[in-house]
């Protein structure tokens, strides 16, 4: 992932930014937050506001900046326990607990349980007194919902927030105010006052973990990346995955077609696979799509390229063993580090996180060959996600612009007869390899054809495909082959089948 951006220049400079402590969020903001401003961090309980705020303060403490956490909603002990669960220590952060045992004492002059204008003023004065005493450069105020309860009416609440903003603006202090949205969503009172607004959301799914995302609602004076950005909250804090924009990533590369490792398949494709393009392997289950993808990947590895194979359906051990039985030994390439087989659990993954994983493989590991097997699991695991195909389009455009050779495996329903696909990805693909079963001489065989290529003058013929202990074999063009596009192809020609030329004992 992208490294955290360092603050440059003097604090008073117009181009100065301060880090949020989260690399992905810094990238979205174009470097970080404008210092000495008041920001609103909003989200329902459990979205990660406190965790993000702590990372912001810990980043400041690491830069020898005085940091203060003012809490009305949690006790100091609860806050330290939450930090400890991530492996953090708050020893270098001042924690000020406004609500303590004394504040809840029935004998006290005022009680937090009975808000009044006097209590509101006292609460604000206590914050001001503590800030003037410590002179922090970063402050987190958690949370505004308690301040709203004390205010009792919107006018008084707005006046107190404005007073705090005016106070902090003269103290060279960057402030995060947390709000749990107990008022109406997108409170215009707060949004209009804050210099910037960051909104956190979490969405439960029918199966698998919830999806978390954030959005920059408003940020004055800086250009930021709009839209929703996925993030995860794990031990160690929040990791944000900026929304992928393919137009931001361009690279120069050699677009010469490269061999698939099979001369016959190269001829069918019009010369081979072209870097900077994606190829869709489309066909029913068991027809040979994964084996073909592995054969193409092995040829790239033999040329010295670095490859990454994302496996959604099959286990890693099964894939390696099956490849060895077909004469394709992946172990040497795994041992050398030039091949990475990544098992993906789509139920635990968001589209943004998967895009970030692919970016890391390309930009950090230098992968020039990427295979996704299969798109069915990726698409089915997120049935409630909107615009998933559009996100896949952005990812493929990114890979193309980086000069990566991409293979996408997409299974179709059915074996013979009517064969259908849940989703049409043909318009996203630069090349389509169509796989079909057919019957000849009382046997089930496989046929392969190229139905689309944007970069090569491909063959319009249909060739037989066979898997054996020698690996993948592609036969000569078959004459009088009819009905392949109907899903029930029939062969009536005279060209010898591949099995006829096999030595005895070859495996099917």
Look at residue 507 in the predicted model and tell me its pLDDT: 37
CA 209/CA 457 separation, integer angstroms: 45
Give strand pairing partners of 134. Answer: none
Two structure tokens written together for 474: 């592609």
C-beta neighbour count of 329 within 10 angstroms: 12
212, 22 Cβ separation under 8 angstroms:
no
User: What's the first-to-final CA gap in the chain, in angstroms?
Assistant: 44
68, 139 Cβ separation under 8 angstroms:
yes
Reduce the DSSP state of residue 72 to 3 states and report it.
coil
DSSP alpha helices (H): ranges in 194-310? 263-269, 289-302
Look at residue 333 in the predicted model and tell me its pLDDT: 97
CB neighbours of 268 closer than 8 A, spacing ≥ 6? 448, 449, 450, 458, 459, 461, 463, 474
Look at residue 124 in the predicted model and tell me its pLDDT: 83
Look at residue 479 in the predicted model and tell me its pLDDT: 76
Q: How far is CA 192 from CA 188, 220, 223, in A?
A: 6, 11, 18
pTM: 0.86
CA 343/CA 26 separation, integer angstroms: 29
**For residue 248, what is the DSSP state?**
G
Two structure tokens written together for 422: 């849940």
Q: Of 60, 72, 424, 87, which Cα lies nearest the Cα of 237?
A: 87
174-179/138-142 β-pairing? parallel
196-203/174-179 β-pairing? unpaired
Q: How far is CA 266 from CA 369, 449, 453, in A?
A: 17, 12, 13
Q: Of 82, 49, 88, 75, which Cα lies nearest the Cα of 177?
A: 49
Look at residue 10 in the predicted model and tell me its pLDDT: 37
Strand residues in 72-184 grouped as ranges (E): 94-97, 138-142, 174-179
Look at residue 152 in the predicted model and tell me its pLDDT: 78
- pLDDT averaged over consecutive 10-residue blocks of the chain (508 residues)? 38 70 97 96 94 98 96 90 96 86 43 49 85 96 84 82 89 94 66 94 83 95 94 96 94 95 95 97 93 96 97 91 94 97 87 94 98 85 67 94 96 71 82 88 86 94 87 84 66 68 39
Give strand pairing partners of 341. Answer: 309
Q: DSSP secondary structure string, 146-163?
A: HHHHHH-SHHHHHHHHHH
Look at residue 9 in the predicted model and tell me its pLDDT: 35
DSSP alpha helices (H): ranges in 338-497? 351-363, 375-380, 388-401
Q: DSSP secondary structure string, 296-345?
A: HHHHHHHTT--EEEEESSS-HHHHHHHHHHTT---HHHHHHTSEEEEE--
Two structure tokens written together for 438: 């057919």
Look at residue 43 in the predicted model and tell me its pLDDT: 94
């Amino acid at each position: 992932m992208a490294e955290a951006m360092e603050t440059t220049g003097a604090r008073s400079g117009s181009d100065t930014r301060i880090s949020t402590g989260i690399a992905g969020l810094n990238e979205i903001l174009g470097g970080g937050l404008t210092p000495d401003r008041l920001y609103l961090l909003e989200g329902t309980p459990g979205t990660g506001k406190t965790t993000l705020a702590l990372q912001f303060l810990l980043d400041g403490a690491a830069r020898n900046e005085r940091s203060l956490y003012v809490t009305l909603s949690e006790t100091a002990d609860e806050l330290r326990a939450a930090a400890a669960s991530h492996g953090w220590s708050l020893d270098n952060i001042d924690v000020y607990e406004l609500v303590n045992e004394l504040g809840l004492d029935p004998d006290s002059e005022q009680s937090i349980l009975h808000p009044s204008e006097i209590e509101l003023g006292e609460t604000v004065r206590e914050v001001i007194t503590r800030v003037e005493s410590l002179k922090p450069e970063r402050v987190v105020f958690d949370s505004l919902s308690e301040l709203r309860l004390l205010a009792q009416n919107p006018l008084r609440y707005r006046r107190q927030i404005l007073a705090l903003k005016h106070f902090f603006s003269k103290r060279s202090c960057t402030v995060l105010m947390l709000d749990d949205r107990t008022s109406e969503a997108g409170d215009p009172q707060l949004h209009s006052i804050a210099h910037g607004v960051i909104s956190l959301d979490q969405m439960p799914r029918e199966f698998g973990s919830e999806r978390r995302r954030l959005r920059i609602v408003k940020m004055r004076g800086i250009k930021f990346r709009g839209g929703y950005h996925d993030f995860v909250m794990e031990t160690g804090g929040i990791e944000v995955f900026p929304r992928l924009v393919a137009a931001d990533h361009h690279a120069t590369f050699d677009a010469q077609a490269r061999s698939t490792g099979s001369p016959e398949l190269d001829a069918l494709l019009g010369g081979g696979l072209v870097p900077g393009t994606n190829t869709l392997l489309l066909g029913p289950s068991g027809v040979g799509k994964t084996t073909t993808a592995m054969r193409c990947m092995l040829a790239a590895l033999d040329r010295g390229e670095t490859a990454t194979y994302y496996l959604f359906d099959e286990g890693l051990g099964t894939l390696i063993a099956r490849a060895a039985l077909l004469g394709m030994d992946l172990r040497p390439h795994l041992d050398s580090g030039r091949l990475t087989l990544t098992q993906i659990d789509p139920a635990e993954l968001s589209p943004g996180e998967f895009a970030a994983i692919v970016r890391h493989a390309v930009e950090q590991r230098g992968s020039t060959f990427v295979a996704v097997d299969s798109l069915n699991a990726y698409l089915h695991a997120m049935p409630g996600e909107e615009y998933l195909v559009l996100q896949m389009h952005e990812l493929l455009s990114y890979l193309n612009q980086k000069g990566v050779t991409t293979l996408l495996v997409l299974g179709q329903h059915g074996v013979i007869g009517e064969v259908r696909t849940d989703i049409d990805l043909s318009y996203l693909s630069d090349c389509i390899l169509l796989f079909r079963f057919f019957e000849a001489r009382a046997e089930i065989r496989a046929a392969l054809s190229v139905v689309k290529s944007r970069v090569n003058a491909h063959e319009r013929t249909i060739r037989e495909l066979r898997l054996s202990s020698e690996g993948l074999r592609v036969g000569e063009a078959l004459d009088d082959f009819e009905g392949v596009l109907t899903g029930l192809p029939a062969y009536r020609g005279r060209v010898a089948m591949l099995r006829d030329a096999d030595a005895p004992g070859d495996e099917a």
